[in-house]
Amino acid sequence: MHTVWKGAISFGLVHVPVKMFSATEDKDVSLRYIHKACGSPLSYVRKCPVCDKEVAWEEIGKGYEYEKGKFVIFGKDELDALTEESTKNITILDFVDLKDIDPIYFQKTYYLSPDQAGAGAYRLLMEAMRQTGKIGVAKISIRSKSSLAAIRVLENCLSIETMFYPDEIRPISQVPSLPEAGVVNDKELDMAKLLISQLSTPFEPEKYTDDYRQRMLDLIASKVAGEEIRIAPARQQTNVIDLMAALQASIEAVQHIPSDPGTPAAAATKPRKTAGGRKKAAAKASGESAAGAKTDGSAAVNGEAAPLTSPASVIPPKPKRRSAKSKQTVS
């Protein structure tokens, strides 16, 4: 069992070190909310409606709404200062008879076991309560909540049951549609009392079972056996998929770009020539022009003879785009 509280029982000048364990457990079959479309479980998000974003735990505080939409905020230190020093003590205020306490006051039951070297005092308190038939009414604080409590003997163990305070019990007068006091038919009353007598038996808690829970477990088992199950899909890694899509789109875009040697981008890809490289290119161009010259010492330009120029003048200029208006036939 998991220890939920540690402290001591105090009555008079006697202190009994104890540890507290939950005596009950919730065995309800827990069902989660599922998205019907894909079978994924839904999660609850702590979202601020004003900032429109999810809020981390470290950004969450506590406040009291004293008017609609108006809150007073408390810091952790302020709330801790309200906690009394006696939170580690179960202080027994009175010893009473169990029959004097209406079950409406009881909340949750815990087991108490001796802690450290408190076995002797624990045994003494338990035996004294057993022989006197009394239970102790005490005060205890669990998780910053103060409660009344009833300490009593269960077999060979001390138990403690948290209780509501009297002002937490709603008055019966608030219950609507209660029948008014009136005369009951004697024959009907006798028949009812006879029926109660026939159904009366010693309390045997083990014979009572949770039929709904058992039917739910049977239904779950049958669905699993029949493979009537939905597997929640894995969450998509959106960052990876977006990156791959972007790369693929980039490749396709590059493949569809037409090559245009006349564009500035194409011209920029040509290597730049140095001064020495330009001289070699000029000499090469001069040699090619001389080899293709006519015997009369002229070169053919558009079918006409033109005089040869010096090597420096035959460097071909970079091609320029000309408009339709500027295009003319050289005569």
pLDDT in tens, 30-84: 888 888 888 888 888 888 988 889 999 888 989 999 999 899 988 888 887 776 6
* Nearest C-alpha neighbor of 6 from the set 112, 117, 153: 112
Output DSSP code: residue 156.
T
Asked if residue 328 has pLDDT above 50, the reply is: no
Q: How many angstroms separate the most distant Cα atoms in the chain?
A: 152
3-24+85-168 belongs to CATH 2.40.160.20: no
Q: How crowded is residue 135: how many other Cβ atoms within 10 Å of its Cβ?
A: 24
Kindly write down the DSSP assignment for every residue of 208-276, as one continuous string. Answer: ---HHHHHHHHHHHHHHHTT---PPPPPP-HHHHHHHHHHHHHHHHHHTPPP-TTSHHHHHTSPPP-HH
Q: Which residues pair with 63 in a beta bridge?
A: 73
Which residues lie below 8 Å from residue 244, measured CB to CB, with a gap of 6+? none
Give residue 92's pLDDT: 92
CA separation (Å) from 100 to 95, 150, 197, 203, 232?
A: 11, 12, 25, 20, 54
Which of 191-200, 288-297, 301-310 tops mean pLDDT? 191-200
- Domain layout of the chain by residue ranges: 3-24+85-168, 47-80
Q: How far apart are CA 147 and CA 107, in angstroms?
A: 10
Cα angle for residues 312, 315, 320 (degrees, 5° grid): 140
Which of 17-26, 234-243, 301-310 tops mean pLDDT? 17-26
Asked if residue 190 has pLDDT above 80, the reply is: yes
Residue with the two structure tokens 């070297």? 117
Give residue 330's pLDDT: 40
Q: How far apart are CA 36 and CA 282, in angstroms?
A: 79
Q: How far apart are CA 179 and CA 197, in angstroms?
A: 25
Q: Which residues pair with 135 in a beta bridge?
A: 96
Query: For residues 16 and 281, which has the higher predicted lDDT (pLDDT)?
Result: 16
Q: How far apart are CA 128 and CA 101, in angstroms?
A: 20
Cα angle for residues 298, 299, 302 (degrees, 5° grid): 130
Q: How far apart are CA 239 and CA 215, in angstroms?
A: 44
The stretch 162-167 carries a mean pLDDT of 93
